[in-house]
Amino acid sequence: MSDRAPAIEARDLRLGFGDVAVLDGLSLSVASGEMVALVGPSGCGKSTLLSALAGLVAPDDGEVLIDGRADAPRLGALTLMPQGDALLPWRTLLGNVALAPRLAGAGREEADRAARRALARFGLGGFEDHYPHALSGGMRQRGALARTLLAGSRAWLLDEPFGALDALTRADLRRVLARTWETERPTTLLVTHDLDEALLLADRVLVSGPRPARIVAEVAVDVRRPREEGDAPRPELADLRRHLMESLRAAGAVA
Amino acid sequence: MSTAGRMPAAEAGAAPAPARRAGWAWRRLPLLLLPLLALVAWQLVVWLAGPRDWLLPSPADVAQVLWDDRSRLWYHAQATIAEAGLGFALAASVGVALAVAIAASRGVEAAVYPWLIASQAIPILAVAPIVAIWLDYGAAQVMVAFVVAFFPVVVTGVDGLRGADPALSRAARTLGASRLWAFWRVTVPDAMPSLFSGLKMAAVFAVTGAVVAEYVGADRGLGYLSEFSTAQFRTDVSFAAILLLAVIGMAFFGIVGIAERLALPHRRHAARPPWRPR
Protein backbone atom coordinates (compact mmCIF):
# COMPACT_ATOMS: atom_id res chain seq x y z
CA MET A 1 0.00 0.00 0.00
CA SER A 2 1.43 3.39 -0.95
CA ASP A 3 1.74 6.05 1.75
CA ARG A 4 -0.19 8.71 -0.04
CA ALA A 5 -3.52 8.32 -1.74
CA PRO A 6 -3.24 9.47 -5.37
CA ALA A 7 -5.08 12.49 -6.73
CA ILE A 8 -7.39 11.89 -9.70
CA GLU A 9 -8.12 14.44 -12.38
CA ALA A 10 -10.24 14.16 -15.50
CA ARG A 11 -9.70 16.80 -18.19
CA ASP A 12 -12.27 17.49 -20.85
CA LEU A 13 -13.33 13.85 -21.34
CA ARG A 14 -15.36 13.09 -24.44
CA LEU A 15 -16.85 9.72 -25.17
CA GLY A 16 -19.67 8.61 -27.42
CA PHE A 17 -21.25 5.37 -28.52
CA GLY A 18 -22.29 5.76 -32.15
CA ASP A 19 -24.20 9.03 -32.39
CA VAL A 20 -24.85 9.26 -28.65
CA ALA A 21 -22.48 11.53 -26.75
CA VAL A 22 -22.20 10.16 -23.22
CA LEU A 23 -19.42 12.39 -21.94
CA ASP A 24 -19.17 15.83 -23.51
CA GLY A 25 -16.14 17.65 -22.20
CA LEU A 26 -16.36 16.53 -18.60
CA SER A 27 -13.72 17.73 -16.14
CA LEU A 28 -13.42 17.00 -12.46
CA SER A 29 -10.75 16.45 -9.86
CA VAL A 30 -10.53 14.57 -6.60
CA ALA A 31 -7.71 15.58 -4.25
CA SER A 32 -5.61 13.06 -2.38
CA GLY A 33 -7.64 11.54 0.44
CA GLU A 34 -10.79 13.40 -0.54
CA MET A 35 -14.23 11.89 -1.07
CA VAL A 36 -16.20 13.48 -3.88
CA ALA A 37 -19.75 12.44 -4.68
CA LEU A 38 -21.21 12.79 -8.16
CA VAL A 39 -24.99 12.92 -8.29
CA GLY A 40 -27.08 12.99 -11.41
CA PRO A 41 -30.14 11.41 -12.97
CA SER A 42 -30.13 7.77 -14.06
CA GLY A 43 -28.53 7.21 -17.44
CA CYS A 44 -26.54 10.43 -17.42
CA GLY A 45 -23.29 8.60 -18.09
CA LYS A 46 -21.93 8.22 -14.58
CA SER A 47 -21.01 4.56 -15.00
CA THR A 48 -19.31 5.30 -18.32
CA LEU A 49 -17.30 8.03 -16.59
CA LEU A 50 -16.12 5.55 -13.96
CA SER A 51 -15.18 3.00 -16.66
CA ALA A 52 -13.13 5.68 -18.41
CA LEU A 53 -11.44 6.73 -15.17
CA ALA A 54 -10.68 3.12 -14.24
CA GLY A 55 -9.08 2.54 -17.65
CA LEU A 56 -11.66 0.00 -18.84
CA VAL A 57 -12.63 2.12 -21.84
CA ALA A 58 -10.53 4.72 -23.64
CA PRO A 59 -12.17 8.14 -24.00
CA ASP A 60 -12.47 9.57 -27.52
CA ASP A 61 -10.78 12.71 -26.30
CA GLY A 62 -9.43 14.23 -23.12
CA GLU A 63 -7.17 12.71 -20.49
CA VAL A 64 -7.13 11.22 -17.04
CA LEU A 65 -4.30 12.23 -14.74
CA ILE A 66 -3.16 10.31 -11.68
CA ASP A 67 -1.04 12.55 -9.46
CA GLY A 68 -0.66 14.85 -12.44
CA ARG A 69 0.60 12.11 -14.78
CA ALA A 70 -1.42 11.28 -17.87
CA ASP A 71 0.58 8.13 -18.70
CA ALA A 72 0.09 6.43 -15.33
CA PRO A 73 -1.38 2.91 -15.62
CA ARG A 74 -4.89 2.94 -14.20
CA LEU A 75 -6.14 -0.66 -14.39
CA GLY A 76 -5.30 -2.08 -11.00
CA ALA A 77 -4.32 1.34 -9.65
CA LEU A 78 -7.90 2.56 -9.24
CA THR A 79 -10.36 0.09 -7.74
CA LEU A 80 -13.87 0.08 -9.15
CA MET A 81 -16.63 -1.17 -6.89
CA PRO A 82 -19.63 -1.86 -9.10
CA GLN A 83 -23.30 -1.54 -8.27
CA GLY A 84 -23.84 -5.28 -8.34
CA ASP A 85 -21.31 -6.85 -6.00
CA ALA A 86 -19.52 -8.65 -8.91
CA LEU A 87 -18.48 -11.47 -6.58
CA LEU A 88 -17.57 -14.59 -8.57
CA PRO A 89 -20.36 -17.16 -7.97
CA TRP A 90 -17.97 -20.14 -8.09
CA ARG A 91 -15.65 -18.80 -5.41
CA THR A 92 -16.40 -18.77 -1.71
CA LEU A 93 -16.61 -15.43 0.07
CA LEU A 94 -13.03 -15.95 1.28
CA GLY A 95 -11.87 -16.85 -2.23
CA ASN A 96 -13.51 -13.74 -3.63
CA VAL A 97 -12.03 -11.35 -1.09
CA ALA A 98 -8.59 -12.99 -1.23
CA LEU A 99 -8.60 -12.43 -4.98
CA ALA A 100 -7.80 -8.73 -4.45
CA PRO A 101 -4.49 -9.22 -2.62
CA ARG A 102 -3.65 -12.19 -4.88
CA LEU A 103 -4.01 -10.04 -8.00
CA ALA A 104 -2.02 -7.31 -6.25
CA GLY A 105 0.83 -9.81 -5.97
CA ALA A 106 0.45 -11.34 -2.49
CA GLY A 107 1.08 -15.05 -1.81
CA ARG A 108 -1.84 -17.38 -1.18
CA GLU A 109 -1.45 -17.67 2.59
CA GLU A 110 -0.85 -14.00 3.08
CA ALA A 111 -3.90 -13.19 0.91
CA ASP A 112 -6.10 -15.62 2.86
CA ARG A 113 -4.97 -14.14 6.17
CA ALA A 114 -5.70 -10.60 4.99
CA ALA A 115 -9.10 -11.71 3.62
CA ARG A 116 -10.07 -13.37 6.93
CA ARG A 117 -9.14 -10.21 8.82
CA ALA A 118 -11.12 -8.01 6.43
CA LEU A 119 -14.17 -10.28 6.60
CA ALA A 120 -14.11 -10.22 10.40
CA ARG A 121 -13.82 -6.44 10.28
CA PHE A 122 -16.97 -6.20 8.16
CA GLY A 123 -18.98 -8.55 10.36
CA LEU A 124 -18.67 -11.53 8.01
CA GLY A 125 -16.62 -13.79 10.28
CA GLY A 126 -17.99 -17.34 10.05
CA PHE A 127 -19.20 -16.89 6.47
CA GLU A 128 -15.80 -17.43 4.82
CA ASP A 129 -16.78 -20.71 3.16
CA HIS A 130 -20.20 -19.60 1.94
CA TYR A 131 -20.80 -19.06 -1.74
CA PRO A 132 -22.18 -15.62 -2.67
CA HIS A 133 -25.66 -16.88 -3.58
CA ALA A 134 -26.09 -18.16 -0.03
CA LEU A 135 -25.60 -14.65 1.37
CA SER A 136 -27.97 -11.70 1.58
CA GLY A 137 -27.50 -8.65 -0.65
CA GLY A 138 -26.10 -6.63 2.23
CA MET A 139 -23.58 -9.33 3.14
CA ARG A 140 -22.45 -9.65 -0.47
CA GLN A 141 -21.93 -5.89 -0.69
CA ARG A 142 -19.90 -5.97 2.53
CA GLY A 143 -17.81 -8.67 0.88
CA ALA A 144 -17.35 -6.42 -2.16
CA LEU A 145 -16.28 -3.62 0.19
CA ALA A 146 -13.76 -5.93 1.87
CA ARG A 147 -12.39 -6.87 -1.56
CA THR A 148 -12.13 -3.18 -2.54
CA LEU A 149 -10.28 -2.45 0.69
CA LEU A 150 -7.79 -5.28 0.10
CA ALA A 151 -7.06 -4.24 -3.49
CA GLY A 152 -4.62 -1.89 -1.79
CA SER A 153 -5.01 0.86 -4.35
CA ARG A 154 -6.14 3.73 -2.09
CA ALA A 155 -8.13 5.18 -4.96
CA TRP A 156 -11.73 4.02 -5.06
CA LEU A 157 -14.39 4.48 -7.70
CA LEU A 158 -17.73 3.52 -6.18
CA ASP A 159 -20.55 3.04 -8.70
CA GLU A 160 -23.81 3.34 -6.77
CA PRO A 161 -22.42 0.72 -4.42
CA PHE A 162 -25.63 0.36 -2.43
CA GLY A 163 -28.09 0.96 -5.24
CA ALA A 164 -29.49 -2.59 -5.19
CA LEU A 165 -30.12 -2.74 -1.44
CA ASP A 166 -33.20 -2.06 0.64
CA ALA A 167 -33.31 1.16 2.67
CA LEU A 168 -32.35 -0.33 6.06
CA THR A 169 -29.41 -2.36 4.72
CA ARG A 170 -28.39 0.65 2.69
CA ALA A 171 -28.17 2.88 5.78
CA ASP A 172 -26.20 0.15 7.55
CA LEU A 173 -23.73 -0.21 4.67
CA ARG A 174 -23.39 3.58 4.41
CA ARG A 175 -22.19 3.68 8.01
CA VAL A 176 -19.76 0.82 7.38
CA LEU A 177 -18.38 2.69 4.38
CA ALA A 178 -18.15 5.97 6.33
CA ARG A 179 -16.17 4.28 9.13
CA THR A 180 -13.88 2.44 6.71
CA TRP A 181 -13.23 5.56 4.67
CA GLU A 182 -12.43 7.65 7.75
CA THR A 183 -9.74 5.20 8.89
CA GLU A 184 -8.24 4.54 5.43
CA ARG A 185 -8.76 7.90 3.76
CA PRO A 186 -8.56 6.65 0.17
CA THR A 187 -9.17 9.12 -2.65
CA THR A 188 -12.78 8.34 -3.52
CA LEU A 189 -15.22 9.20 -6.24
CA LEU A 190 -18.70 8.08 -5.25
CA VAL A 191 -21.34 8.00 -7.95
CA THR A 192 -24.89 7.95 -6.63
CA HIS A 193 -28.36 9.28 -7.24
CA ASP A 194 -29.09 9.42 -3.53
CA LEU A 195 -28.61 13.01 -2.28
CA ASP A 196 -28.56 11.95 1.38
CA GLU A 197 -25.89 9.36 0.72
CA ALA A 198 -23.80 12.00 -1.05
CA LEU A 199 -24.21 14.57 1.74
CA LEU A 200 -23.57 12.11 4.56
CA LEU A 201 -20.36 10.77 3.03
CA ALA A 202 -18.62 13.26 0.76
CA ASP A 203 -16.41 16.33 1.21
CA ARG A 204 -17.77 17.79 -1.99
CA VAL A 205 -20.82 16.99 -4.08
CA LEU A 206 -20.80 17.50 -7.86
CA VAL A 207 -24.04 17.67 -9.80
CA SER A 208 -24.34 16.36 -13.33
CA GLY A 209 -27.16 17.21 -15.71
CA PRO A 210 -28.85 14.64 -17.93
CA ARG A 211 -26.76 12.96 -20.65
CA PRO A 212 -24.21 13.98 -21.86
CA ALA A 213 -22.63 14.16 -18.40
CA ARG A 214 -21.30 17.59 -17.49
CA ILE A 215 -20.71 19.11 -14.07
CA VAL A 216 -23.31 21.86 -13.60
CA ALA A 217 -22.95 22.60 -9.89
CA GLU A 218 -20.68 21.93 -6.96
CA VAL A 219 -21.39 22.02 -3.22
CA ALA A 220 -18.74 21.81 -0.51
CA VAL A 221 -19.97 19.89 2.54
CA ASP A 222 -18.12 21.52 5.44
CA VAL A 223 -19.92 19.53 8.10
CA ARG A 224 -17.94 17.58 10.64
CA ARG A 225 -18.17 13.81 10.83
CA PRO A 226 -19.96 11.74 11.89
CA ARG A 227 -22.79 13.44 10.14
CA GLU A 228 -25.56 11.41 11.67
CA GLU A 229 -26.79 12.08 15.20
CA GLY A 230 -28.62 9.01 16.28
CA ASP A 231 -30.30 8.03 13.08
CA ALA A 232 -30.96 11.51 11.70
CA PRO A 233 -28.66 13.60 9.47
CA ARG A 234 -27.25 16.75 11.07
CA PRO A 235 -29.58 19.73 10.54
CA GLU A 236 -26.90 21.67 8.62
CA LEU A 237 -27.28 19.17 5.80
CA ALA A 238 -30.89 20.17 5.12
CA ASP A 239 -29.94 23.51 3.52
CA LEU A 240 -27.29 21.85 1.37
CA ARG A 241 -29.81 19.24 0.27
CA ARG A 242 -32.26 21.96 -0.81
CA HIS A 243 -29.49 23.68 -2.71
CA LEU A 244 -28.53 20.42 -4.49
CA MET A 245 -32.13 19.76 -5.39
CA GLU A 246 -32.41 23.25 -6.94
CA SER A 247 -29.24 22.66 -8.96
CA LEU A 248 -30.61 19.37 -10.28
CA ARG A 249 -33.88 21.07 -11.19
CA ALA A 250 -32.07 23.93 -12.93
CA ALA A 251 -30.03 21.37 -14.91
CA GLY A 252 -33.24 19.76 -16.10
CA ALA A 253 -32.47 16.53 -14.26
CA VAL A 254 -35.68 16.55 -12.22
CA ALA A 255 -39.05 18.15 -12.79
CA MET B 1 -23.34 -4.93 14.19
CA SER B 2 -25.26 -8.16 14.00
CA THR B 3 -25.77 -10.30 10.95
CA ALA B 4 -27.74 -12.98 12.76
CA GLY B 5 -31.08 -11.57 11.64
CA ARG B 6 -30.08 -11.95 8.03
CA MET B 7 -28.75 -15.48 8.27
CA PRO B 8 -29.41 -17.15 4.92
CA ALA B 9 -31.18 -20.42 4.34
CA ALA B 10 -27.87 -22.28 3.96
CA GLU B 11 -27.71 -22.59 7.74
CA ALA B 12 -31.11 -24.25 8.03
CA GLY B 13 -31.13 -27.36 10.24
CA ALA B 14 -30.44 -30.69 8.54
CA ALA B 15 -32.94 -33.53 8.79
CA PRO B 16 -31.83 -36.69 10.64
CA ALA B 17 -29.90 -38.99 8.30
CA PRO B 18 -32.20 -42.10 8.17
CA ALA B 19 -35.33 -40.06 7.51
CA ARG B 20 -33.48 -38.21 4.77
CA ARG B 21 -32.30 -41.45 3.15
CA ALA B 22 -35.86 -42.84 3.09
CA GLY B 23 -37.00 -39.58 1.51
CA TRP B 24 -34.26 -39.90 -1.07
CA ALA B 25 -35.46 -43.36 -2.15
CA TRP B 26 -39.06 -42.23 -2.12
CA ARG B 27 -38.37 -39.24 -4.34
CA ARG B 28 -36.59 -41.45 -6.87
CA LEU B 29 -39.39 -44.02 -7.03
CA PRO B 30 -40.98 -42.38 -10.14
CA LEU B 31 -37.78 -43.37 -11.96
CA LEU B 32 -38.90 -47.02 -12.02
CA LEU B 33 -42.53 -46.29 -12.84
CA LEU B 34 -42.22 -46.05 -16.63
CA PRO B 35 -39.97 -49.13 -17.10
CA LEU B 36 -42.30 -51.20 -14.91
CA LEU B 37 -45.37 -50.09 -16.86
CA ALA B 38 -43.63 -50.83 -20.14
CA LEU B 39 -42.57 -54.26 -18.89
CA VAL B 40 -46.10 -55.13 -17.77
CA ALA B 41 -47.62 -53.93 -21.06
CA TRP B 42 -44.99 -55.88 -23.03
CA GLN B 43 -45.65 -59.09 -21.12
CA LEU B 44 -49.43 -58.61 -21.51
CA VAL B 45 -49.09 -58.24 -25.28
CA VAL B 46 -46.99 -61.41 -25.43
CA TRP B 47 -49.56 -63.35 -23.35
CA LEU B 48 -52.69 -62.04 -25.09
CA ALA B 49 -51.55 -61.83 -28.72
CA GLY B 50 -49.06 -64.71 -28.59
CA PRO B 51 -46.78 -63.50 -31.44
CA ARG B 52 -44.02 -65.75 -32.78
CA ASP B 53 -40.94 -65.21 -30.63
CA TRP B 54 -38.86 -63.85 -33.53
CA LEU B 55 -41.50 -61.12 -33.95
CA LEU B 56 -41.68 -60.11 -30.30
CA PRO B 57 -39.76 -61.99 -27.63
CA SER B 58 -41.10 -61.87 -24.07
CA PRO B 59 -39.25 -59.91 -21.38
CA ALA B 60 -38.27 -63.21 -19.85
CA ASP B 61 -36.64 -64.35 -23.15
CA VAL B 62 -34.63 -61.13 -23.26
CA ALA B 63 -33.57 -61.53 -19.63
CA GLN B 64 -32.49 -65.08 -20.49
CA VAL B 65 -30.30 -63.78 -23.34
CA LEU B 66 -28.84 -61.05 -21.13
CA TRP B 67 -27.66 -63.75 -18.74
CA ASP B 68 -26.73 -66.59 -21.07
CA ASP B 69 -24.94 -64.45 -23.68
CA ARG B 70 -23.36 -62.08 -21.18
CA SER B 71 -19.78 -62.57 -22.33
CA ARG B 72 -20.72 -62.05 -25.99
CA LEU B 73 -22.79 -58.97 -25.11
CA TRP B 74 -19.94 -57.58 -23.02
CA TYR B 75 -17.49 -58.15 -25.90
CA HIS B 76 -19.68 -56.00 -28.16
CA ALA B 77 -20.49 -53.47 -25.45
CA GLN B 78 -16.78 -52.80 -24.91
CA ALA B 79 -16.40 -51.78 -28.54
CA THR B 80 -19.37 -49.42 -28.44
CA ILE B 81 -18.25 -47.87 -25.14
CA ALA B 82 -14.74 -47.30 -26.49
CA GLU B 83 -15.98 -45.77 -29.77
CA ALA B 84 -18.52 -43.50 -28.09
CA GLY B 85 -16.08 -42.56 -25.31
CA LEU B 86 -13.34 -41.66 -27.77
CA GLY B 87 -15.78 -39.78 -30.01
CA PHE B 88 -17.08 -37.85 -27.01
CA ALA B 89 -13.59 -36.99 -25.76
CA LEU B 90 -12.67 -35.69 -29.21
CA ALA B 91 -15.94 -33.75 -29.47
CA ALA B 92 -15.43 -32.19 -26.05
CA SER B 93 -11.86 -31.05 -26.70
CA VAL B 94 -12.32 -29.88 -30.29
CA GLY B 95 -15.74 -28.37 -29.43
CA VAL B 96 -14.42 -26.35 -26.49
CA ALA B 97 -11.41 -25.13 -28.46
CA LEU B 98 -13.65 -24.08 -31.33
CA ALA B 99 -16.12 -22.38 -28.98
CA VAL B 100 -13.29 -20.37 -27.41
CA ALA B 101 -11.96 -19.38 -30.84
CA ILE B 102 -15.43 -18.36 -32.05
CA ALA B 103 -16.21 -16.37 -28.91
CA ALA B 104 -12.79 -14.69 -28.89
CA SER B 105 -12.57 -13.69 -32.54
CA ARG B 106 -15.17 -12.14 -34.82
CA GLY B 107 -13.14 -13.32 -37.78
CA VAL B 108 -13.31 -16.98 -36.75
CA GLU B 109 -16.99 -16.57 -35.97
CA ALA B 110 -17.79 -15.16 -39.41
CA ALA B 111 -15.67 -17.76 -41.19
CA VAL B 112 -16.65 -20.88 -39.25
CA TYR B 113 -19.88 -20.60 -37.29
CA PRO B 114 -22.40 -20.47 -40.19
CA TRP B 115 -20.75 -23.51 -41.87
CA LEU B 116 -20.78 -25.36 -38.60
CA ILE B 117 -24.54 -24.92 -38.40
CA ALA B 118 -24.96 -25.85 -42.08
CA SER B 119 -22.94 -29.03 -41.52
CA GLN B 120 -25.55 -30.22 -39.05
CA ALA B 121 -28.22 -30.22 -41.75
CA ILE B 122 -26.41 -33.05 -43.57
CA PRO B 123 -28.20 -36.29 -42.60
CA ILE B 124 -25.72 -38.39 -40.66
CA LEU B 125 -27.40 -41.59 -41.90
CA ALA B 126 -26.47 -40.65 -45.46
CA VAL B 127 -22.87 -39.83 -44.60
CA ALA B 128 -22.16 -42.70 -42.23
CA PRO B 129 -21.82 -45.37 -44.98
CA ILE B 130 -19.33 -43.17 -46.84
CA VAL B 131 -17.32 -42.62 -43.68
CA ALA B 132 -17.41 -46.39 -43.16
CA ILE B 133 -15.86 -46.88 -46.62
CA TRP B 134 -13.18 -44.27 -46.02
CA LEU B 135 -12.09 -45.38 -42.58
CA ASP B 136 -11.30 -48.64 -40.86
CA TYR B 137 -13.78 -50.39 -38.60
CA GLY B 138 -13.59 -48.60 -35.28
CA ALA B 139 -12.19 -45.35 -36.67
CA ALA B 140 -15.38 -44.80 -38.68
CA GLN B 141 -17.52 -45.24 -35.55
CA VAL B 142 -15.37 -42.80 -33.56
CA MET B 143 -15.59 -40.30 -36.41
CA VAL B 144 -19.38 -40.40 -36.67
CA ALA B 145 -19.75 -40.23 -32.87
CA PHE B 146 -17.48 -37.18 -32.90
CA VAL B 147 -19.41 -35.45 -35.70
CA VAL B 148 -22.80 -35.75 -34.01
CA ALA B 149 -21.47 -34.95 -30.51
CA PHE B 150 -19.37 -31.88 -31.12
CA PHE B 151 -22.15 -29.58 -32.33
CA PRO B 152 -23.95 -29.16 -28.97
CA VAL B 153 -20.57 -28.60 -27.29
CA VAL B 154 -19.69 -25.73 -29.64
CA VAL B 155 -23.13 -24.09 -29.50
CA THR B 156 -23.51 -24.19 -25.71
CA GLY B 157 -19.87 -23.20 -25.29
CA VAL B 158 -20.25 -20.14 -27.52
CA ASP B 159 -23.55 -19.17 -25.86
CA GLY B 160 -22.01 -19.56 -22.41
CA LEU B 161 -18.95 -17.47 -23.23
CA ARG B 162 -21.06 -14.75 -24.87
CA GLY B 163 -23.55 -14.74 -22.02
CA ALA B 164 -20.87 -14.40 -19.34
CA ASP B 165 -21.48 -11.38 -17.09
CA PRO B 166 -19.13 -8.60 -18.28
CA ALA B 167 -19.34 -6.93 -14.84
CA LEU B 168 -17.35 -9.83 -13.39
CA SER B 169 -14.41 -9.56 -15.75
CA ARG B 170 -14.47 -5.75 -15.49
CA ALA B 171 -14.20 -6.04 -11.72
CA ALA B 172 -11.30 -8.48 -12.07
CA ARG B 173 -9.56 -6.13 -14.53
CA THR B 174 -9.75 -3.18 -12.14
CA LEU B 175 -8.25 -5.42 -9.45
CA GLY B 176 -5.23 -5.76 -11.72
CA ALA B 177 -6.04 -8.95 -13.64
CA SER B 178 -4.69 -9.21 -17.18
CA ARG B 179 -7.08 -9.63 -20.08
CA LEU B 180 -5.98 -13.27 -20.42
CA TRP B 181 -6.48 -13.98 -16.71
CA ALA B 182 -9.93 -12.41 -16.80
CA PHE B 183 -10.86 -14.60 -19.76
CA TRP B 184 -9.63 -17.93 -18.38
CA ARG B 185 -10.46 -17.38 -14.74
CA VAL B 186 -13.67 -15.35 -15.00
CA THR B 187 -15.35 -15.63 -18.41
CA VAL B 188 -14.66 -19.34 -18.93
CA PRO B 189 -15.87 -20.46 -15.45
CA ASP B 190 -18.94 -18.27 -15.95
CA ALA B 191 -19.66 -20.22 -19.17
CA MET B 192 -19.28 -23.65 -17.54
CA PRO B 193 -22.93 -24.29 -16.57
CA SER B 194 -24.01 -23.69 -20.16
CA LEU B 195 -21.15 -25.78 -21.53
CA PHE B 196 -22.05 -28.71 -19.28
CA SER B 197 -25.57 -28.75 -20.74
CA GLY B 198 -23.97 -29.28 -24.13
CA LEU B 199 -21.55 -31.90 -22.80
CA LYS B 200 -24.43 -33.91 -21.34
CA MET B 201 -26.23 -33.89 -24.71
CA ALA B 202 -22.98 -34.75 -26.48
CA ALA B 203 -22.41 -37.75 -24.20
CA VAL B 204 -25.71 -39.30 -25.26
CA PHE B 205 -25.34 -38.28 -28.92
CA ALA B 206 -21.90 -39.93 -29.03
CA VAL B 207 -23.47 -43.30 -28.17
CA THR B 208 -26.14 -42.98 -30.86
CA GLY B 209 -23.52 -41.79 -33.34
CA ALA B 210 -21.32 -44.82 -32.70
CA VAL B 211 -24.32 -47.16 -33.05
CA VAL B 212 -25.46 -45.60 -36.33
CA ALA B 213 -21.97 -46.14 -37.73
CA GLU B 214 -21.98 -49.73 -36.47
CA TYR B 215 -25.22 -50.38 -38.35
CA VAL B 216 -23.71 -49.40 -41.70
CA GLY B 217 -20.36 -51.09 -41.42
CA ALA B 218 -18.61 -52.78 -38.53
CA ASP B 219 -17.60 -56.20 -37.24
CA ARG B 220 -18.11 -55.46 -33.58
CA GLY B 221 -20.32 -53.38 -31.27
CA LEU B 222 -23.84 -53.51 -29.88
CA GLY B 223 -25.22 -51.73 -32.96
CA TYR B 224 -23.60 -54.33 -35.18
CA LEU B 225 -24.88 -57.15 -32.95
CA SER B 226 -28.42 -55.75 -32.99
CA GLU B 227 -28.45 -55.38 -36.79
CA PHE B 228 -26.88 -58.81 -37.34
CA SER B 229 -29.29 -60.52 -34.92
CA THR B 230 -32.36 -58.90 -36.44
CA ALA B 231 -31.29 -60.18 -39.87
CA GLN B 232 -31.11 -63.67 -38.38
CA PHE B 233 -34.51 -63.29 -36.69
CA ARG B 234 -32.82 -63.41 -33.27
CA THR B 235 -34.99 -60.55 -32.01
CA ASP B 236 -34.32 -61.50 -28.40
CA VAL B 237 -30.58 -60.80 -28.84
CA SER B 238 -31.36 -57.58 -30.67
CA PHE B 239 -33.59 -56.46 -27.79
CA ALA B 240 -30.91 -57.29 -25.25
CA ALA B 241 -28.37 -55.22 -27.21
CA ILE B 242 -30.75 -52.25 -27.37
CA LEU B 243 -31.42 -52.51 -23.64
CA LEU B 244 -27.68 -52.41 -22.96
CA LEU B 245 -27.32 -49.39 -25.26
CA ALA B 246 -29.92 -47.53 -23.23
CA VAL B 247 -27.98 -48.30 -20.06
CA ILE B 248 -24.72 -47.13 -21.67
CA GLY B 249 -26.37 -43.87 -22.78
CA MET B 250 -27.63 -43.23 -19.26
CA ALA B 251 -24.21 -44.03 -17.81
CA PHE B 252 -22.49 -41.59 -20.19
CA PHE B 253 -24.98 -38.87 -19.22
CA GLY B 254 -24.55 -39.70 -15.54
CA ILE B 255 -20.76 -39.53 -15.67
CA VAL B 256 -20.84 -36.04 -17.21
CA GLY B 257 -23.44 -35.06 -14.58
CA ILE B 258 -21.09 -36.21 -11.81
CA ALA B 259 -18.20 -34.31 -13.42
CA GLU B 260 -20.42 -31.23 -13.46
CA ARG B 261 -21.20 -31.53 -9.77
CA LEU B 262 -17.50 -31.91 -8.98
CA ALA B 263 -16.45 -29.03 -11.23
CA LEU B 264 -19.15 -26.61 -10.08
CA PRO B 265 -19.53 -27.20 -6.34
CA HIS B 266 -21.25 -23.84 -5.83
CA ARG B 267 -24.21 -24.98 -7.90
CA ARG B 268 -24.78 -27.98 -5.67
CA HIS B 269 -25.70 -25.57 -2.90
CA ALA B 270 -27.74 -23.35 -5.17
CA ALA B 271 -31.15 -22.37 -3.93
CA ARG B 272 -34.08 -24.42 -5.19
CA PRO B 273 -35.95 -22.50 -7.88
CA PRO B 274 -38.96 -20.68 -6.45
CA TRP B 275 -41.42 -22.42 -8.75
CA ARG B 276 -40.53 -25.82 -7.28
CA PRO B 277 -41.33 -25.78 -3.57
CA ARG B 278 -39.91 -28.41 -1.28
Q: Tell me how far apart the terminal alpha carbons of chain B are, to the nearest angstrom.
A: 33
Q: Give contacts of B171 with chain A, Cβ < 8 Å.
A: 80, 82, 86
Nearest chain A residue to B181 by CA distance is A103
Per-residue pLDDT tens for B98-132? 999 999 888 999 999 899 888 888 888 888 888 88
A47, A51, A99: which to substitute to probe chain B, counting the most B Cβ within 10 Å? A99
Contact A88, B168 (CB under 8 A): yes
Looking at residues B200-221, what average pLDDT do you find?
A: 93
Give Dmax over CA atoms of chain A in angstroms: 54
Rg (alpha carbons) of chain A, rounded to whole number:
18
Per-residue pLDDT tens for A223-235? 777 787 777 778 7
A88, A91, A148: which to substitute to probe chain B, counting the most B Cβ within 10 Å? A88
Q: At what angle do helices B70-104 and B106-119 cross, to 10 degrees?
A: 140
- CB-CB under 8 Å, B3 with A82: no
Confidence of residue A3 (pLDDT cuts 50, 70, 90): low
| Percent share of chain A, pLDDT over 70 | 98
For residue B274, the model assigns a pLDDT of 52
Nearest chain B residue to A172 by CA distance is B1
Looking at residues A158-179, what average pLDDT do you find?
A: 87
Q: Between these two residues, A119 and B275, which has the higher pLDDT value?
A: A119
Could you give the CA distance from residue A79 to residue A148 in angstroms, rounded to a whole number? 6
Confidence of residue A65 (pLDDT cuts 50, 70, 90): confident
For residue A164, the model assigns a pLDDT of 77
A79, A131, A140, A166: which to substitute to probe chain B, counting the most B Cβ within 10 Å? A131
pTM: 0.81
Per-residue pLDDT tens for B19-56? 566 677 777 778 888 888 998 998 899 889 888 878 88
Chain A CB within 8 Å of residue B9 CB:
yes
Confidence of residue A1 (pLDDT cuts 50, 70, 90): very low
Could you give the CA distance from residue B99 to residue B112 in angstroms, rounded to a whole number? 10
Looking at residues A69-74, what average pLDDT do you find?
A: 83
Q: Give contacts of B174 with chain A, Cβ < 8 Å.
A: 54-56, 75-76, 78-80, 151, 157
Contact A210, A252 (CB under 8 A): yes
For residue A140, the model assigns a pLDDT of 93
Q: Which helix (H) or strand (E) holds A57?
A: none
Q: Which helix (H) or strand (E) holds A127?
A: none
Alpha-carbon gap: B166 to the closest alpha carbon of chain A (Å) = 9
The alpha-helical segments, DSSP class H, found in B50-123 are: 59-68, 70-104, 106-119
Q: At what angle do helices B222-231 and B188-216 cross, to 10 degrees?
A: 30
In the three-class reduction of DSSP (H, G, I as helix; E, B as strand; rest coil), residue A89 is classed as: coil
Of A78, A135, A172, nearest to B174 by CB-CB distance is A78
Q: Between these two residues, A58 and A217, which has the higher pLDDT value?
A: A58
Looking at residues B233-246, what average pLDDT do you find?
A: 93
Residues in contact with B170: Cβ distance below 8 Å, sequence separation at least 6, in sequence order = A51, A56, A80, A82, A86
Could you give the CA distance from residue B96 to residue B55 in angstroms, rounded to a whole number? 45
- CB-CB under 8 Å, B8 with A88: no
Chain A CB within 8 Å of residue B163 CB:
no
Strand positions, DSSP E, chain A: 8-17, 20-30, 35-39, 61-66, 79-81, 155-159, 187-192, 204-208, 215-220, 228-229, 232-233
Chain A CB within 8 Å of residue B3 CB:
yes
Could you give the CA distance from residue B158 to residue B154 in angstroms, rounded to a whole number? 6
- CB-CB under 8 Å, A151 with B170: no
Looking at residues A70-86, what average pLDDT do you find?
A: 86
Q: Tell me how far apart the terminal alpha carbons of chain A are, to the nearest angstrom.
A: 45
- CB-CB under 8 Å, B271 with A76: no
- CB-CB under 8 Å, B186 with A104: no
Answer left, alpha or beta for residue A76, where phi above 0 means left and psi between -120 and 50 means alpha.
Answer: left
For residue A238, the model assigns a pLDDT of 82
Confidence of residue A5 (pLDDT cuts 50, 70, 90): confident
For residue B21, the model assigns a pLDDT of 65
Chain A CB within 8 Å of residue B261 CB:
no
A102, A133, A147, A174: which to substitute to probe chain B, counting the most B Cβ within 10 Å? A133
